[in-house]
Structure 1
Amino acid sequence: MCSFLHNRRTSENRKIDKFIKSTIYNARNCCSYYNYGRTYNNSDSNDDEDNIDYPIFLEWVPFNRFEDIKQIGEGGFSKVYSALWIDGKAKYDKQDDGSWKKRESEPIRVALKRLNGSQNISVEYLVEIEKQWNYYSTMIRTNALKFYGMTKELETKEFMMIIKFSEKGNLRNLILNYFNDILWEDKIMILSKLSHNLRKLHKLDYCHKNFHSGNIFVKYNKNDRKEYDDDYDDDAIYISDFGLSGPSYKQEANNKVCGVLPYIAPEVLNGEPYTLFSDIYSFGIIMTEISSGRPPFHERKHDIGLSLEICNGLRPEFEEGTPEIYKKLAYKCMNAIPDQRPTVIELFKVLKFWYYSCDNLYYYGEKEKFGYKEKVIRAMFEEAGKKIPSISTPYEKNPDAIYTSRMFTFNSYQNPLIPLLLFHI
C-alpha cells in the first residue's frame, strides 16, 4: 500500500474529503502521474517539479502549514493570497516493484484562492472544482496553473484552493503597462498560444464561462522569446478560473450568470446557456483589447444599457491601423450568431499560421493558407507595427466600468432578456 494513502488529515467536510481521497486512489492505481520523460535520480541536478516523475493527487493541508500569507488579488467571488507552504508538495518516486517512495520536499511559494461563502459549499460548485482538477491532471503538459490541494482558513472557515504561484502578470496588466513595447508579432504569439490552451479546455468539452484578460497570465519578455514549437509546451500562457466565476455556496438558477459584462456573449445575456462558442466570443473581445491597448467599453457604465447595446450588435473598437485580416477574424469571433463563429481549432490554425508568417524561424514567404501568402501577412503586421510606439494608450475609466466578476440576473419579462445587476462582492 502506498504511503500517500495513509494521510489522516480531514477537511471536516465529507464531500471534500471524498473528492480528495478519490484523487489519491487514482494515483495509487497509477492512473495519473507527472512524467516529462525524465526520471528523478540522486545526482546533483536542478530538476524541479516540472521535470520529474511523481503521482498526481490532491492533498488536504492544515492552514497552519502556511506562512507569510499576503493578499495579492481579488475577483468578484474570491480573494487570492501568496503563501509559503512549509512542507511543499509531497513527491514520490516510482520503484521497480511499482510502489512509490516518498522523497524529501522543500517549502514552496503557492497561491491560495479563497472561495467566498464556502463554509456551506454546494455540491454543484464542488463539481466545478472537480472539473478544474480533471483539467489540471489530464493536461499536465499544457499551461494550466497546477492545482495542489485544499485548505481552510481558520478565521472565516472558508475553503481555499492551493495552486501554483505564478509570477506572471495577467494579460490586462501587461497590455496596460507595456502596450507600446509589444510588437504585433508578439500579439499574435500570445493569441496563438492562448487559442492553443483554450483548445485543450474545449477538447474536454468544458466551457470556461468567465474568459477575460484578467484570467489569463502571461510571461512576456521581448528580449527573450521562446521557441514556438508545435507542442507549445513552454509556460508562456496560463488560463485560470474556468467554471468558478460564481459564489461557492449555491448553484445559480438558469436566469443568472456570473462574469465580466463586456466579455459575456450576447446569447448568454439573452438567457441562453454557455457553449464553447461563448468562449470564442470572449476571445474576440480580447482581440480588440490587444489591438487597442484599452479594456473593452472602459468609457461606459457596465449596466443594463450596455447589455442592450451588446445584444443589438455593439462591439469594442480597434486601434487605427489594425490589419484588416485581424479585425475580420475578431469580428467573426464576435458574431451574434454562435454557430457562425469559428471553432477553437479553426481559430488556432489561423493564428498559428499568422505567427509563423511573422517569425523568422518559420518564415518561407510563399506558403499560402486561408487566402493569404506568408509574405503578405508579414507585410500587413510589420506595417501595423510601425505605428505602435506612437499610439497613446492612457484612458479615463468610467467608475462604473467593472472588470471583476459579478452576478447578473435576467428579467423574464423582457425580450431579448437583459441582465440586471444583482450584486457584486
Structure 2
Amino acid sequence: MGQTLCADASANSDRPIGLSDFDYDTVTDLLGKGQYGLVYSAKNTRDGSRVALKVMAKAKVDSMEALMEEVEILMHINHPHIIKCFDFFSDDDNYYLTSEIMGGGELFDRIVSRHHYTEADARNLCLILINTIAYLHDADIVHRDLKPENLLMMSNDDDASVKIADFGFARRLEGGTASEKCGTPGYVAPEVIKQEPYGVCADVWSLGVIIYIILCGYPPFHHAKMGTLFKLICRGQFKFYDEEWSSVSSEAKDLIKRMLTVDTRQRITARQALNHPWLQMDEEELNKNGMKGTLAQLRRFNLKRKFRAAVHTAIVTGRLQRLVASLPSNQD
C-alpha cells in the first residue's frame, strides 16, 4: 500500500465538509489527472461511501475564476450522463473537489472489449451523448473539451452507464460567446482554431468527430504535422472510406456531415440532431449492420491513444511527486 492520509472526522455532521472527512491512498489509488491536479480514490469517513477526490495545488491554478466556474457548473447541473460532484473545499495549500467514482473505465475501452458490435449499438450510444450535450447547451453551457478520454463508464455491468467528465474548460455563456483557444487537437472545431468568437456549436463539431470514430474506428482528421491537421479541420476535409463505411447507413453519414459542417450557421445543433432520421431508425434494421472491421480499427486507434497517454503520464510524474509531497500526512 502507498502512504495513507487520514484524520479524525468530527461527530458533528452539520459542520462544513473538509479534508479530515476523507481517508485516501496517495499512490496505489491514483485514478487519474485533470486540468489542474490529480484524482484519488477516497472514502468518506462520514458515511463510508467511496468518492473521487481531486487535489489541486493552489500554486498550479492559473485562474481561480475558471476553477470556480467549473465547480459552479458541476455542483448545479443534474443529468444521469454527467459526472456528479458533491463537495468543494480547501486548505492552505490545495483545493479539493469530490465526485462519484467512475468505476467502469473509459467508454472506448468498453467498446473494444466487445465481441459483437453493430450500428445499432453505436447509434444507441451516440443518442445518449447527443442528448446529454443538448441538455448542457439548453443551459447555455459549452464543454469545450469533448474527447474519448472524457467519456467514462460508471459501471462494469451497464453498457449505457457512460458519463461526460472533466469540465475544466466548460463555460456558461449566458447568451454570449467564448474566444479562448482551448480543446484537444483532432477534436477542436474550426472556429476555435481560427480564434473566432464561438458558442455551444463547437461541442457539436467535437461530438461529430467522436461519432465518426465510433462508427469506423479512426478519426476523420489526422496528420502528423499539427499545422496540416488544423488546415484539414478548417476546410472540413474528410472522407467516408468504403472499407469501413460501406456497411454504415447513409443516415449516419448524413448526421456526421451536418455535425462536421465548417459554417457554424449551417451546422446542426444538438437539439436538432435528436430529431435526425438516424436517431429514429428501427433498431432491428441497424442491428443488421455488423461492424467487425470497425472494432479492429478501433482497437488499433485505442492502443495508439493509450500509448500517447502513457508518454504524457511519464512526463508529469515529477509533478505528481511534488503534489504528493505537499499533502498532509499521518502523525502515527
Q: 1:218 to 1:347 in 2, by over 3 A?
A: farther
Q: Does 1:334 align with 2:238?
A: no
Q: 1:274 to 1:215 in 2, by over 3 A?
A: farther
SS of structure 2 residue aligned to 1:349: coil
Per-residue deviation at 1:168?
2.4
Cα RMSD between the aligned structures?
Answer: 3.6
Q: Which 5+ residue runs of structure 1 have no aligned equivalent?
A: 10-59, 88-105, 226-234, 247-253, 360-377, 407-424
| Corresponding letter in the other structure for 1:128 | E
Contact kept, 8 Å, 2:117 with 2:295, in 1: the verdict is no
Asked if residue 147 in structure 1 is aligned to residue 74 in structure 2, the reply is: no
Aligned partner of 2:107 in structure 1 is 171
Q: Are 1:261 and 2:185 matched, yes or no?
A: yes
Render the CA deviation track for 1:301-333: whole Å, top value 9, x for unaligned: 362221122112233756232222211111110
Q: List aligned pairs for 1:13-412, cutoff 5 A.
A: 60-63=17-20, 65-69=22-26, 70-87=29-46, 106-115=47-56, 117=58, 122-136=64-78, 139=79, 142-152=80-90, 157-178=93-114, 180-218=115-153, 236-242=161-167, 244-245=168-169, 256-294=180-218, 297=221, 300-301=223-224, 303-315=226-238, 319-320=244-245, 321-350=247-276, 351-354=278-281, 357-358=282-283, 378=285, 381-385=286-290, 387-388=291-292, 392-393=296-297, 394-395=299-300
Higher helix share: 2
Larger Rg: 1
**Structure 2 unaligned residues grouped into runs of 5+:** 1-11, 171-177, 313-319, 321-332
Q: How far 1:219 sits from its partner (Å)?
A: 5.7
Overall identity of the aligned pairs, in %:
21
User: Displacement of 1:144 after TM fit?
Assistant: 2.1
Q: In 2 relative to 1, CA 146–349 (structure 1 residues): closer, same or farther, beyond 3 Å?
A: same
Runs (4+) off by over 6 Å: 396-401
TM (normalized to structure 1)? 0.58
- List per-residue Cα deviations over 1:326-385 (Å, max 9, x = no partner): 11111110000112121211212235413xx105xxxxxxxxxxxxxxxxxx2xx34421
Helix, strand or coil: the match of 2:32?
Answer: strand
CA separation of 1:311 and 1:77: change in aligned 2, threshold 3 A: farther
**C-alpha separation in 1, matches of 2:206 and 2:33:** 21
Which residue of structure 1 aligns with residue 174 of structure 2? none
| Structure 1 counterpart of 2:40, one-letter code | Y
Residue aligned with 2:265, SS: helix
What corresponds to 1:102 in structure 2?
Answer: none
| Alpha-carbon distance between aligned partners in 2 of 1:207 and 1:213, rounded to the nearest angstrom | 17
Deviates further, 73-82 or 394-403: 394-403
